[in-house]
Amino acid sequence: MKKILLGFAEGYFVVSIILYIATYLIMKNPINTLFYPETYPILLGLFYLVYKYKTKESKIGN
């Protein structure tokens, strides 16, 4: 559970920064994505899938 939460926090931070920079460059008016709670379940699902893929990949490699 700790790995999932850390992965989610790290991934959400990176996505937020990318969206912030992209919206700033496009509109010169950045959107602060940290205050959009409706995106949390979508991002949690994406990061969970990435975590599952990475753990599966590490089991194959070892």
CA 45: distance to chain centroid? 9
58: pLDDT confidence band, cut at 50, 70 and 90? low
Give the tens place of pLDDT for each residue, 3-47.
777 777 777 777 777 777 777 777 776 666 555 666 667 677 777
- Per domain, the residue ranges of the chain are 34-62
Termini Cα distance of the chain: 22
- At 52, give phi and psi (nearest 5°): -65, -40
Q: Are 27 and 19 spatial neighbours (Cβ–Cβ below 8 Å)?
A: no
Its pTM stands at 0.42
Q: Please give the pLDDT value at position 45.
A: 72
3-state secondary structure of 28: coil
| Listed residue (33, 29, 54, 30) closest to 42, CA to CA | 33
